[in-house]
Chain A
Amino acid sequence: MNSDLISAFINLIQPNLLLWMLVGTFVGIIAGILPGIGASLTMALLIPISFSMPKEQGLVTLIFAWSAAVYGGSISSILINTPGTGANVMTCLDGFPMARVGKAKVALAISATSSMIGGLIGVFFLILFAPPLAKFAMKFGPSENFMLTIFSLVIISFTLKGSTLKGLISAGFGFILSFIGYDILTGEMRYTFGISYLADGIPFLLFVIGLFAIAQIFEFLFNINESILGINKISGSYAEGIKLTFQNWKTLIKSSVIGTVIGFAPGIGTSTASVVAYGEAERSSKCPEQFGNGAPDGLVAAEASNNAVQGGALIPTLTLGIPGNSDSAVFLTGLMMYGITPGRGLFQSNPSLVYLLFISLILSQVAFWALGLSLSGIFSRITMIPLKFLIPFIWILSATGAYALHNNLIDVCVIILIGILGYLMHKANFPIIPLLMAIILGPTAEKNFMRAMMISDGLFGIFFKGYINIAIIVLILVIISLPLLFKKKPECKD
């Protein structure tokens, strides 16, 4: 074991590998910032390039880009309220309000540090508990996965500020929009009204861009002569952000564990992890009224959990060959292109490669943290730019991101329409997150619902069977009944 570990480490400290680690991290951060690119697409674009490299070099580049891309999405979420991917949606809730009051540097430091710790905890879970956790992951059948989706939507509707009823309506509307297009199992075309564009449904990334970036442009039109900061000034430092992250160590660890656990359940996704972690952080916070207004622990929860998913998702990927999410599915493709077959045999037949992957995963977290922090000073200045300069930039960036998805101008028209919907929702005090979560999770939820119904011959009782389902139902009931049973916590003075 030791010799394998040492040889893996020696393999990694080659100068050319160190260079590719830096390249992978930089590319990942930039790709994460760009709306619509994300970790999966970054890796998909890098695979053809990395295939021409030696195996170790290629895999290391992919891992570093992957880790950095998940983190990179938080930068645009914090600075311009535009999440790079669905995984960073929850980051906007507290990151952007912090940037508006001049705490962009602090928010970026919290995001980088929480992402790193979350990522490291996820990797340690992968190293220490991979085989037993993979076994547990297999207990998640279609009904359990469906119930977990419902659980995350209930959490988000009940924990977000404002009316719970509006939150539930928002989630319901999101679900309705996600039903448009081909039915995954029967192949029937539904609710498209003969419009061929709708056959595959509306991609959720268009909703991410439209509901956040485009709606934000419309909001910015209120005060075009000011900057994101308004009358505030940039204050705070990285040190303050790092300190705040560790001050919220309980949220940090709890969210990382939530991210890892949800990560290893195949097909559930990073968005669910950040929603559940955020909901739990708000529930257990001494100052829940600060959530959504720039709460550091909200930001810690969102970022630690979405990066922890990486390690969690790799557990079934490496031990069973079943990818935990779309990112790990692309990474699995990369592994297989090098002739590496995942499974328990991999741990016995090629331990030095497994160690190389583990060490790369650990180092990649540190790399994006260091590079992210060093670039934060430049990034935080974006909040000082007058909005009338920023609006055209956000528009062109968003439109390009939407266009890049299918090289189709209709996608750009769609983000404008979704932007109007988002603006209307802002005006009507309707929470956007439940809508977005339902759109992201809708297809997976429906697929799992239909599979469960097929297994049970159309009986709904399947959703109430098994200890995982019962535990989820109990948790849902607890979340619904808590506000009725207990009085609201006194407002936090600090």
Chain B
Amino acid sequence: MTRGAYLIMCPSFPLEDLDVMKKQDNKAAILLEILIIIFAVTILVSSSGHTLRAVRLPIIISAITLILVIADLVQIIHKNKNAEPKEIQELKTEAIDNQLTKRLIGMFVFMFLTLAFWRIIGYLFGSIVAIIGIGLFLGIKKRILLIIISVVVSLLLYIIFSVLLGVPLPWGFLPMLF
């Protein structure tokens, strides 16, 4: 990401944190590239049990990707060795990281909870509960407004998807009991 693009995406973020973010990016890049290597190797290894016709292109693409990933990984590790992180910036990043990690994990949990709500109390009520839950988790203080929005949004999506488009949305097993 260019410095300009970064500032557009995160206008309130302190300027000096950009370099630290780049340092962090390398960790993410290494993690991602290891993931791609695992995928590519898996494709290459598991291609052996198939006819060549069915796996010719996957083998070619996986091999090329593997070469490119290793080249990039070597570059990143080489750059990483040369870069000296600053202590103050590391502390700042840690504070931002902790807050963000909490939000990320919370959001992740609420995403899966939404699915549980859909299965238990059905799409309409499940969505209302999920929106209220996520809203409260993110710190919305106007609770009445949050409840109104959750009802309106869920009802609107229910009408569009279920009534107009005919999508059979989850009913949930709890309403069935009554």
Contact = CB atoms under 8 A, between A and B. Distances in A.
Contacts of A324: none
A176 B2 CA distance: 28
Interface residues of A, number: 74
B53 A395 contact: no
A97 B54 CA distance: 42
A427 B53 CA distance: 37
A218 B138 CA distance: 12
Interface string B93-120: 0000000100110011011101100110
A45 B65 contact: no
Contact of A169 (B8, B12, B72): B72
Interface in A376-424: 388-389, 391-393, 395-397, 399-400, 403-404, 407, 409, 412-413, 416, 420, 424
Contacts of A425: 32
A294 B112 CA distance: 34
Contact of B43 (A176, A389, A397): A176
A388 B1 CA distance: 25
Q: Which of B31, B46, B51, B115 has the most CB of A within 10 A?
A: B115
A223 B12 contact: yes
A179 interface: yes
Contacts of B12: 223, 226, 230-231
B163 to A, nearest CB: 12
A407 B110 CA distance: 20
Interface residues of B, number: 77
Interface string A453-481: 11000000000000000000000000000
Which label, helix, strand, loop or mixed, suits the secondary structure of the B interface? helix
A404 B165 contact: yes
Contacts of A101: 8
B71 A293 contact: no
Contacts of B46: 190-191, 193
A77 B144 CA distance: 30
Interface string A146-177: 00000000000000011101101100110111
A113 B170 CA distance: 39
A101 B104 CA distance: 25
B167 A389 contact: no
B79 to A, nearest CB: 12
A186 interface: yes
Given A392-B130, A393-B131, A221 B32 contact: no
Interface string B42-73: 11001100110111111001101100110110
B150 to A, nearest CB: 7
A429 interface: yes
Contacts of A397: 157
B161 A179 contact: no
B54 A172 contact: no
A30 B159 CA distance: 13
A185 interface: yes
A169 B53 CA distance: 24
Contact of B53 (A186, A292, A391, A407): A186
A446 interface: yes
B25 to A, nearest CB: 5
Given A221-B107, A388-B138, 10 more contacts: A100-B8, A172-B61, A173-B65, A179-B57, A183-B54, A221-B103, A403-B118, A416-B112, A428-B26, A428-B33
In the complex, the 4 A-B pairs of residues with the closest C-beta atoms, listed nearest first: A172-B65, A427-B28, A428-B29, A388-B138
